[in-house]
Amino acid sequence: MKNKPDINNTNPTKNSFTFKTKHSRNKVYWASQIIGWSIFAIFNISIMSLFGHFTWQRVTTTLYLLFVGISVTHIFRSYTIKKRWLKLSLKKIIPRIILSSFILGAILYIIIFIVFYNIGFIHINKIQAGSVIWGLFNLIGIILVWELFYFSFHFFENYKAVEVEALIWEAAVKDYELKTLKSQLNPHFIFNALNSIRALINENPESAQTAVTYLSNILRYSLKKGHIETVSLSDELLTVTDYLKLESIRFEERLKYKIEVDEASKQVEIPPMMIQTLVENGIKHGLSTREQGGEIYISTNLTNTHLIIEIRNTGSFENEALKKAKGFGINNTKHRLNLIYGEKAKFTIENETNDIVLAKIVIPIEGDKNESYYN
């Protein structure tokens, strides 16, 4: 099982990736500039030819407009980057787009007018107000379309980047929370196990030695598997069996247990130490509070889409000690399942009868993790 990166990890290639992204955007920008303005020029020349207005003077005018258009819009782009327009909200950017379209359109018109007047393409005595207004608003419209394409592209790119960043951080935070829960889990178990062995040392040294063997197996499993997200059910149940044997030495005849496993479920992946935590809670806050002790019964069942784990123990969920246990064992289980599987997994704990508590875990199996148990 692969581990996710730590939330505090930094990416040594981040600056290189950022440079490549900017370089790629520049290539897209220049390609769009040249292609876009070229399409505009070809369209204009085609319209001239179609309606019989084709002259080399008009072709020259169109090509000059293409050159000036690319130059003016590129200068405008540099200005917007410097002023960080792309970071502005839509409410602030829309008025700027409209105003700048009028200003740039007017600048384009003035530049073209001055150049064409000096080379003799335009004669003052032949200028008509209607043609001036039409030419001016035509250029304003062209600039407005350019700006709409430009800002729409960047807003879409920024939106995607923000979404990706949010997903990365969400995954990192979940990974961090999951590791925090695991770091709480192991000391909690070790503390209780050592207490059990300490109680045995004076009462029965040989049993204490056997208990140490069981504990070493459990700790080895915890150290080996604790850093990964999931383990096989069979591995988890081996550790649970060691734990139950450990507790059986202490409780003697007061603890009886039974494990029934669906053979097909043994290789299904589950979070490590999860069953052990619930068994521990069942013993500590259920049957250990009763003079006559009680039973632990663990069963698994594999369906087409989910693994169902049921843990029954003698006791009552209304017991005050068990309610306090929710602070660690039960809430920890719910939180870990949620971090790994989201709503696709389910955990419940309730009184099945007056003296039997049932804890039930439902986990989606590999390949069916999109199928929610609630559906």
Q: Kindly report, residue by residue over 161-182, the tens digit of the pLDDT.
A: 767 766 665 666 666 555 655 5
CATH code at position 242: 3.30.565.10
Residues 24 and 158 placed together within one structural domain of the fold = yes
Q: Is residue 111 part of a domain?
A: yes
Q: 263 pLDDT band (50/70/90 cuts)?
A: very high
pTM: 0.52
Q: Is residue 142 part of a domain?
A: yes
**Total domain count, the chain:** 2
Contacts of 257 (CB under 8 A, 6+ apart): 244, 248, 295, 296, 297, 298
Cβ–Cβ < 8 Å for 349, 311 = no
Q: Report the range of poorest mean pLDDT among 50-64, 82-96, 318-332.
A: 318-332
Give the pairing of strands 269-270 and 306-314.
unpaired
Contacts of 334 (CB under 8 A, 6+ apart): 347
Residue 354's domain comprises 204-364
Residues 220 and 142 placed together within one structural domain of the fold = no
The average confidence (pLDDT) of the chain is 78
Residues 161 and 242 placed together within one structural domain of the fold = no
Q: Is residue 3 part of a domain?
A: no
pLDDT of residue 374: 45
Cβ–Cβ < 8 Å for 242, 218 = yes
Q: What integer is the mean pLDDT of 297-326?
A: 82
Q: Is residue 266 part of a domain?
A: yes
Q: Is residue 282 part of a domain?
A: yes
Residues 163 and 225 placed together within one structural domain of the fold = no
Closest CA to 193 of 168, 219, 175: 219
Instruction: Give yes or no for residue 143 having a pLDDT over 50.
Output: yes
Q: Is residue 308 part of a domain?
A: yes
Contacts of 360 (CB under 8 A, 6+ apart): 308, 309, 310, 311, 346, 347, 348, 349
pLDDT of residue 282: 87
Closest CA to 345 of 307, 299, 300: 307
Q: Is residue 180 part of a domain?
A: no
* Residue-wise pLDDT tens digits, 12-63: 444 444 444 566 777 878 888 888 888 877 877 777 677 666 666 667 777 8
Residues 210 and 359 placed together within one structural domain of the fold = yes
- Final residue before a domain boundary, out of 140, 167, 194: 167
Cβ–Cβ < 8 Å for 336, 271 = yes
Dihedral pair phi/psi, residue 307, rounded to 5°: -100, 130
Instruction: Give yes or no for residue 227 having a pLDDT over 80.
Output: no
**What are the tokens at 207?**
């049993």
Region for 103 from its dihedrals, namely left if φ exceeds 0, alpha if ψ lies in -120 to 50, beta otherwise: alpha
Residues 219 and 158 placed together within one structural domain of the fold = no
Q: Is residue 4 part of a domain?
A: no
Closest CA to 259 of 306, 322, 192, 313: 313
Tell me the residue length of the chain: 375
Residues 91 and 224 placed together within one structural domain of the fold = no
